[in-house]
Chain A
Amino acid sequence: MTIEEVQQEIIEEFSVYTDWMDKYGYLIELGNELTDLDPKEKTDQNLIKGCQSRVWLIAEMNDGKINFRGESDAIIVKGLVALLLRVVSGRTPKELIENDLHFIDDLGLKQHLSPTRSNGLLAMVKQIRLYAVAYNKIAG
């Protein structure tokens, strides 16, 4: 599946939920399901600090594709991290650069990406892009 197809899949999954509380209930579920990082991996280097919640992001290049893993101390943000990882992990740098991450906006959850929210999520999205650009350059 392409990045775009995964995003559409996610949007469809959410469409069953019409009530905000149900949407967030699902996000909390996703957050709870996401495998936690090894505590040793939650270093300052991997930390993307926000003043509302913290997010950790790890990127590893493997066979031309970037493997992303991540976590947050806030469950709702962790659910959004889970969705993001589903879309971006295991992709080539080129795919990441060429695709637009619009699904969070489409889900009506754009506020979580607002800079005022300072929950680390926006910084995480930016960081993913930076990794993509950096790995793309290295790949040549």
Chain B
Amino acid sequence: MYNIEKIRSYFPVLHQKVYDKPLVYFDSAASSQKPVQVLMAEERLHNDFYGNIHRGSHFMADKATVQFEEVRDKIRDFINAESREEIIFTKGTTESVNLVAFSFCEKFLNEGDEIIVSEMEHHANIVPWQLAAQRKKAKIVKLPFNDLGVLETEKLPSLINKKTKLIAVAHVSNVLGTVNPVSEIIKIAHENNVAVFVDGAQAVQHLSVDVQQMNADFYAFSAHKMYGPNGVGVLYGKKIWLEQMPPYQGGGEMIAEVSFDGTTFNELPWKFEAGTPNITSVISFGAAIDLINETGMQNISEWEYSLLGYATSKLKEIHGIRIYGEAPEKSSVISFNIDGIHSYDLGMLLDKMAIAVRTGHLCADTVMQHFGINGCIRISFGMYNTKAEIDIFIAALNKVRQMF
């Protein structure tokens, strides 16, 4: 079954002490820890076969290229994309959004057009669209959520009109934990010839993602939130869109031929991968995907689901607790406040007890504004967390409460 001890053994960092106390890492939603497999993959690359990819014809370059492109195939399979041409490597989710916000909007967004953005988005899935709207004199329309943290999708048909070009929505909210009905949203959108960009940064590590079944036009996520390295992420885009979109960044790799009379561009996926990519991180990203596959996404989901349920029930016993996001379908983040205690103070004291949580606006100002708060605390679980850690956290929370 789920061998938690074995899994935890893959993450040496979890066994270290912070302020002389054992670390309880509840901030995987911000960034997850990296297993030895990822670190070893990086080391192997540099010790055995590093070379610039797609550019050389020597042994090292060849081997690196093959390994690099194998990871692309791995990711294609991981999210069940139809073809490898639809998998673009970027710096991360944020760059993926910026790429589409620039390129898609450059081609398809005109003055007076509209982009629908949900109220629960991370800044990464709001600001690039605002910048594009500014450039193109287009309008951003808000799709609200209710106080339970559920998107008011019933409002969607009325928000869509002939001017609507795209909807930007998170698969899973980084504050509320809500798992949004993206397939349903996409269906409504497509009935109206509207494209949908899905931010999957908080989804891919917790649940199975099938972009074909979902029928997403675009789907983005980051390696560092799914036990992979920093500096690399993925943009999945349907071929039909990517082929029509102009390049985002120019440079080497994304060209076919360059001359002063004119330049032609490379085919997909490389059209959108200018410059030398983060070879190291892409290759070690592959090891993270392997680990998730070997453990089994279904197993990880079930494990985390039980942690979510346990933590939620324990938190609800605390007097004055206010949980933000109680949608019927939730992923493993819990954001909350305790009456009379500022989230900064709580987070600071939990830190001194070696419990790592996230405090503040959580890069989601619009969610804070919805609830009229100036910040909150978030705990988030990964494949390596345990019920025992939750017990330590609850005990610490109760201890801290007494100080106020």
Contacts and interface: CB of A to CB of B under 8 A. Distances in A.
Interface of A: 20-21, 24-25, 28, 51-54, 73-77, 118-119
A76 B342 CA distance: 9
* B: contact size bracket: 10 to 19
A52 B19 CA distance: 22
A25 B375 contact: no
Given A53-B374, A74-B342, 16 more contacts: A20-B19, A20-B352, A21-B353, A21-B403, A24-B348, A24-B349, A24-B352, A28-B345, A51-B361, A52-B375, A54-B374, A73-B342, A75-B345, A76-B345, A76-B349, A118-B360
B174 to A, nearest CB: 15
Contacts of A20: 19, 352
Nearest to A23: B352
Contact of A24 (B343, B360, B403): B403
Contacts of B342: 53, 73-75
Interface string B317-360: 00000000000000000000000011111011100110000011
B404 interface: yes
Nearest to A53: B344
A119 B374 CA distance: 12
B359 A75 contact: no
A5 B83 CA distance: 70
Contacts of B344: 52-53, 74, 76-77, 119
A77 B349 CA distance: 12
A51 B403 contact: no
In this complex, the member of B342, B353, B375, B403 whose beta carbon has the largest number of chain A beta carbons within 10 angstroms is: B342
Nearest to B368: A51
Interface of B: 19, 341-345, 347-349, 352-353, 359-361, 374-375, 403-404
Contacts of A21: 349, 352-353, 403
Contact of B374 (A28, A73, A75, A77): A73
A76 B341 CA distance: 10
B352 A51 contact: no
A51 B359 CA distance: 9
B359 A25 contact: no
In this complex, the member of A21, A51, A77 whose beta carbon has the largest number of chain B beta carbons within 10 angstroms is: A51
A20 B344 CA distance: 16
Contacts of B375: 51-53
A74 B359 CA distance: 12
Contact of B359 (A24, A28, A52, A77): A52
A109 to B, nearest CB: 10
A74 B341 CA distance: 8
Nearest to B375: A52
Contacts of A75: 341-342, 345, 404
Contacts of B349: 21, 24, 76
A76 B352 contact: no
B27 to A, nearest CB: 14
A119 B361 CA distance: 12
22 contacts: A21-B349, A21-B352, A21-B353, A24-B348, A24-B352, A28-B345, A28-B404, A52-B359, A53-B344, A53-B374, A74-B342, A74-B343, A74-B344, A74-B345, A75-B341, A75-B345, A76-B344, A76-B345, A76-B348, A76-B349, A118-B360, A119-B344
Contacts of B19: 20
Report the 3 A-B pairs with minimum CB-CB distance, sorted nearest first.
A74-B344, A74-B342, A53-B344
Contacts of A119: 344
Nearest to B347: A52
Nearest to B363: A51
Contacts of A53: 342, 344, 374-375
Contact of A52 (B341, B352, B360, B404): B360
A54 B375 CA distance: 10
A75 B340 CA distance: 10
A136 B342 CA distance: 36
In this complex, the member of B19, B343, B374 whose beta carbon has the largest number of chain A beta carbons within 10 angstroms is: B374
Nearest to A54: B374
Nearest to A120: B344
A52 B377 CA distance: 10
B199 to A, nearest CB: 20
A21 B403 CA distance: 9
B374 to A, nearest CB: 7
Contacts of B345: 28, 74-77
Contacts of A52: 343-344, 347, 359-360, 375
